[in-house]
Chains A and B, each alone.
Chain A
Amino acid sequence: MARIFDRDTLLDLTVNVIPLGIILFFVVAFVLVDPFGGLDFYGRVLQMGLLVFPFVALAILTYVSGKAIAGDEKRSPVFFQGQATMEGAQTRHEAEADIEAADEAAAAATAEAEAEAEADATDDDADPDTTDEE
């Protein structure tokens, strides 16, 4: 269980935690502030029920769907949407590895370029148009 709900999954689930938080906020607010205290108790129960029910339902659905999705992510290869049945499609893992490799290469390239640019700038700073560009 703890393995399925790791940091990444919890981060994905924050989208649903925010509405849960909003509902919770109103539950607390309505408990503390009750300008309609003179009215019947039944309405008060309904008022809370209308907040508690969606809260619980959303919490359950978030848990169940998170378990299904994150579980499948761990059990089998993950593709980008709509590509799973395509021949020779890259998995997300492979794509990320590619991007990282490309990033590293690019970083190395920019480091070099920057070093050169700096060297240029020292003897050429009379031309702010080109140096400001970066």
Chain B
Amino acid sequence: METTGQLLLTVLMGAFLLGVAAFLARVEDWRSYTPLGAGGGAVGESGYGHAEKPAGLIRWFTTVDHKDIGLLYGLYATIAFVVGGLMVMLMRAELTTPATDVLGSATFYNSLLTSHGITMLFLFGTPIIAAFANYLVPLIIGADDMAFPRINAIAFWLLPPAALLIWAGFFPIPEVIPAQTAWTMYTPLSAGVGNGNQMNVGVDLMLLGLHLSGVSATMGAINFIATIFTERAEEVTWANLDIFSWTILTQSGLILFAFPLLGSALVMLLLDRNFATTFFAVEGGGPILWQHLFWFFGHPEVYILVLPPMGIVSYVLPRFSGRKLFGFKFVVYSTLAIGVLSFGVWAHHMFATGIDPRLRASFMAVSLAIAIPSAVKTFNWITTMWNGKLRLTAPMLFCIGFVSNFIIGGVTGVFLASIPVDLVLHDTYYVVGHFHYIVMGAITFAGMAGIYYWFPLVTGRWYQRTLAKAHFWLWMIGTNVTFFAMVLLGYGGMPRRYATFLPQFATLHQIATLGAFMLLVGGVIWVYNIYVSWIEGPHVQSGDPWRLDETSLNTAEWDWFDAKRETSLAATDGGEEVKADGGEVVDGAPADDAADDE
């Protein structure tokens, strides 16, 4: 009975896939693609309304253009960010009272917790960085496209199924429940051992989805490494490579070593769950083995997430300081140092597990050493701004917010790296405060800085600057209210990952929830602003909308933008887009002083 149903499903699926293949073969002339060198140089290549690109949705499903794929990554990351954000809002609502009054079930809270973490790290964090890297790196280093444009497309298209698998437990599918393992997936819980419900197939689907996202990240990383090594323009020597590309290169190196390891560990876990192997069973490799494997991936992963945002800040912040980046080469070398050292600190997440104290000591030592390159960067950003001619535009505000939050996140991290302090604070809200100062306060802020900074480059339009500033201040205050309250909760001894708490923690939890609602409001403003401005924002009036030429701080991607504008202005027979670009006066919109964005 059951097998017949499954057979039927398989046949249906096969027929469906064949149909898709046939459809694609019909609508697309695949041979028309000559992705490499098609445009003849970074300048003048492609742009919208490109004659060779099919129109409408088909274009987005078949594109191999690095800019289109970058935009797809951006859209994907935005959706994931909204999903993960709504999940955490439910959790914060739950945490306004000590009992489970709001959601009614601690199990559901645990599911949200797990999914929030995985969504934000793997479906928002990595893809939003890939969005910037895909769009910008080829433009900045003067490459025609990525080295392997089709692998680039495949890497992206692996992500939507990954998301569906990861969220599968939340869909109304009978018998499938969401994983409640937290993002660290510690065994034995995640191995489905015991009387709990984590043997459910929902956990397997989540693990497979995670595996798929790892495959995607690895393919992307190989592509970036190949692109940066082999596709640079002749003038772009190692000495001339910009800091953002350096961080992407380093990040890709980290991905290349870290993600396959996660993939292997996940396969081992799946085998333990479904084929009775004993990799992580007490009588086999032991639960600590999982922790070693997971964190050998996990700590590099946090730097995979933070290095490119550091690159964005190092790239954008000087433009609004009227200065070149102070100590450019310090920043480059310290990026590389972080890359190497991040593989030598993993067990600082395991200080409380009872591993050999001598190993703990070594991990502490390297964790202290890795703080130096991070601190060096911070000093470089501050020195760049020192006595500079600051322009407090929205991207600049987010850069400054990044630096400020990164300092708090970094300092709390250094304390955690000290064994005796960690033994007190481990698994409390202090840790949650620490890493959220970084993942939210720093990484996401840098992402926003990048989005506002390159918004004119991508859309040719301005966002609404008042809304952008409201967004910034809501987030700056909201981040600090939320996560500083968590640091204090941790000092008070509030353990992490609980749906309920003792009444004495109520006030701080309510403050944290208040801050989270500020973040929600800011986020809604952001989505609205980007959406509306993309459609009807005033057009930028020059190829140098940030007026970077005045301080000799212009860069290659804006040069490309300028050239693109000029060609589309010159082409009188162009499409609608072109006409709008030429129509200088747009409803009397104050496009000109938007450039000040003061």
Contact = CB atoms under 8 A, between A and B. Distances in A.
Interface of A: 12-13, 15-16, 18-20, 22-23, 26, 30, 34, 36, 39, 43-44, 46-48, 50-51, 53-54, 57-58, 61-62, 65-66, 68-73, 75-87, 90, 95
A76 B232 CA distance: 15
Contact of A13 (B238, B324, B333): B333
Given A39-B358, A95-B552, A82 B237 contact: no
B262 interface: no
Contacts of A20: 369
B372 interface: yes
Interface string B269-313: 000000000000000000000000000000000000000000000
A12 B335 CA distance: 13
A43 B347 CA distance: 14
Contacts of B330: 12, 15
Q: Sorted from nearest, which 10 A-B pairs have the closest CB atoms? A: A82-B555, A54-B344, A26-B365, A72-B237, A50-B362, A19-B369, A81-B242, A85-B142, A47-B358, A84-B240
Contacts of B373: 15-16, 19
B341 A58 contact: yes
B345 to A, nearest CB: 8
Given A19-B369, A19-B372, A54-B343, A43 B554 contact: no
B257 to A, nearest CB: 11
Nearest to B236: A84
Interface in B199-250: 233, 235-244
A90 B235 CA distance: 13
A108 to B, nearest CB: 22
B238 A46 contact: no
A36 B344 contact: no
User: Which among A19, A22, A68, A82 has the highest number of chain B CB atoms within 10 Å?
Assistant: A82
Given A43-B359, A46-B356, A51-B366, A78 B337 contact: no
A15 to B, nearest CB: 5
B173 to A, nearest CB: 45
B336 A81 contact: no
A54 B361 contact: no
User: Which among A43, A50, A57, A76 has the highest number of chain B CB atoms within 10 Å?
Assistant: A50
B332 interface: yes
A47 B359 contact: yes
B153 interface: no
21 contacts: A15-B376, A18-B372, A19-B341, A19-B372, A22-B369, A26-B365, A47-B359, A51-B366, A54-B344, A54-B369, A61-B340, A69-B329, A71-B238, A73-B237, A75-B237, A80-B324, A81-B325, A82-B140, A85-B42, A85-B235, A87-B559
A10 to B, nearest CB: 12
B362 A47 contact: yes
A79 B370 CA distance: 29
**Chain A interface helix/strand/loop/mixed:** helix
Nearest to B334: A15
Contacts of A69: 238-239, 329, 332
A50 B559 contact: no
B235 A15 contact: no
Given A18-B372, A85-B142, A76 B237 contact: yes
Contacts of B242: 81-82
Contacts of A81: 240-243, 315, 324-325, 328, 555
A82 B365 contact: no
Interface string B132-164: 000000001110000000000000000000000
A84 B559 CA distance: 11
A75 B366 CA distance: 35
Contacts of A78: 237, 239-240
Given A53-B344, A57-B340, A82-B555, A36 B368 contact: no
Contacts, number: 159
A83 B556 contact: yes
Contact of A79 (B141, B240, B366, B368): B240
A46 B343 contact: no
B353 to A, nearest CB: 15
Contacts of B370: 19
Contacts of B42: 85
**Chain B interface helix/strand/loop/mixed:** helix
Nearest to B240: A84
B422 interface: no
B240 A72 contact: yes
B341 to A, nearest CB: 6
Contacts of A73: 237, 239
Contacts of B328: 80-81
B65 interface: no
A57 B556 CA distance: 34
B335 to A, nearest CB: 10
Interface in B162-201: none
Given A44-B358, A51-B362, 7 more contacts: A30-B365, A46-B362, A58-B341, A61-B337, A62-B337, A77-B235, A85-B236
Contact of B556 (A68, A82, A90): A82
B239 A72 contact: yes
B562 to A, nearest CB: 10
A65 B239 contact: no
A23 B365 contact: yes
Contacts of B332: 65, 69
A26 B363 CA distance: 11
A19 B237 contact: no
B344 A68 contact: no
Nearest to B344: A54
Contacts of A13: 333
B333 A65 contact: yes
